[in-house]
Amino acid sequence: MIFRYLKILLLVIPILFLFQNCKKGKVKIGFLMDDFSSERWHQDRDLFLDKAKELGGKVMLDSAMGDIKKQFEQAKIMLEKGVDVLVVVPASSEAASAIVKLAHRYEVPVISYDRLIRDCDLDYYISFENINVGEQMSEYLSKRCPVGNYAVICGPPSDNNSVFLKFGQMNVIQPLIEKGDINIIYDNCVNEWKMEEGYRLMKECLALGKKVDAVLCANDNLALGVINALKEAGLAGDVLVSGQDAESYAIQNILAGYQTMTVYKPIEAIAFAAANAAVKIGRGEAISEATEYINNGEKMVPSILLHAMVVNKDNIDMTVKADGYLKEHNLKE
């Protein structure tokens, strides 16, 4: 009789365990964004929300508007409301480690979206190959201007992507600097990803009174500020300017000859990958797509790294236009 009950228990326990680990109903996803200072982040938000809903997720969304403490409080509220997974675009790559630690006390996994959260036991990272983004910027500008004076305007140090970008940029141009072909006349970081910051630093650079041949600029928003400063100095179109994100105004500036290139990071790809991963994690499933690893200072984080591409005046048809970007933003072809 005892053995009969034991056999029944051995059959029942695995079934109970299976049901315990299966998520019933919609997966509750907390999506914490930094801010909406550029049109790019509006796209991320909308695409992520639509895809998560399609896959059976229910998303709680909030934006910290660049406030580190506010983002932590938003995370706490979401965790208290019982989210199954957090997706975080960190306001600060370092400060957001506190969000990961808090989430793990609630036994909630965290996906770091686009920007790497550092120095913590982060669960997953989904982004683009940001070192390669920096390399693409430098490769393109250095082919157009192999000899000359360069200014470098980096993103904020609080964003780990700024570090990756600078590393990639220097991978390409450092040998040219050592050779004496490229001279760095200005190198500084902005405090925030804002057009006004790009304008401010470019004004500082121009005030040095040295000829500028090219500006390695970290993104399109900063590039817009750089171009405005160059316009005031009568130099717009004469100085090469890089960027990234393929913002609609950057495409217009490329068509007008004011911006040299941008790096296009297909937002649909990252938003869909993150939504898919969040729903899977919420259901207790493995993320087979996370085949690469990035060191965040504490561990090698399982990562999904997507490829970006250069956009210039000659290949707009094959890149942003082919993806429907020109039509979506009502840009002239």
* 8 A C-beta contact, residue 215 and residue 149: no
CA–CA gap between residue 170 and residue 167 (Å, rounded): 5
Q: What is the mean pLDDT of the chain?
A: 90
Please indicate, yes or no, whether residues 137 and 228 belong to a single structural domain of this protein: yes
Of 199, 220, 230, 268, the C-alpha closest to 54 is: 268
pTM of the model: 0.83
Do 121 and 137 share a structural domain?
no
Q: Is 189 part of a structural domain of the chain?
A: yes
Q: What is the pLDDT of residue 321?
A: 64
Q: What is the CATH number of the domain that holds 33?
A: 3.40.50.2300
Q: What is the pLDDT of residue 16?
A: 42
Q: Are residues 42 and 124 in the same domain?
A: yes
Same domain, 193 and 255: yes
Asked if residue 13 belongs to a domain, the reply is no
Q: Name the band, by pLDDT with cuts 50, 70 and 90, for residue 131.
A: very high
Tally of domains in the chain: 2
Helices (H), ranges, 208-324: 220-232, 248-256, 267-282
For residue 187, the SS3 value is: strand
pLDDT over 70 at 332, yes or no: no
pLDDT of residue 320: 75
Selection from 313, 323, 216, 307 nearest residue 265 by Cα: 307
Q: Could you tell me if residue 112 is inside a domain?
A: yes
Per-residue pLDDT tens digits for 232-281: 999 999 999 999 999 989 999 999 999 999 999 999 999 999 999 999 99
Task: Specify whether 149 is located in the same domain as 255.
Answer: yes
246 and 167 assigned to the same domain: yes
Domain boundary among 232, 259, 286: 259
In a domain, 213, yes or no: yes
- 3-class DSSP state for residue 112? strand
Stretch 292-311: mean pLDDT, rounded? 96
pLDDT in tens, 65-96: 999 999 999 999 999 999 999 999 999 999 99
Residue 195 counted as domain residue? yes
Say if residue 38 is in the same domain as residue 100: yes
Give kind and range of the element (H or E) at residue 152.
strand 148-154
Claim to verify: residue 41 and residue 137 sit in the same structural domain: no
Q: Which residues span the domain enclosing 191?
A: 130-259
Give the count of beta carbons closer than 10 Å to the beta carbon of residue 106: 14
Indicate whether 139 and 246 sit together in one domain.
Answer: yes
- Give domain status of residue 113, yes or no: yes
* Residues whose CB is less than 8 angstroms from the CB of residue 69 and which lie 6 or more positions away in sequence, other chains included: none
> Are residue 71 and residue 160 in the same domain, yes or no?
no
**Do 178 and 241 belong together in one domain?**
yes
Q: What angle do CA 152, 157, 162 make, to 5 degrees?
A: 60
* DSSP-assigned states of every residue in 292-310: EEEE-SSSEEEEEEE--EE
Mean pLDDT over 310-322 rounds to 82
Q: Has residue 163 been placed in a domain?
A: yes
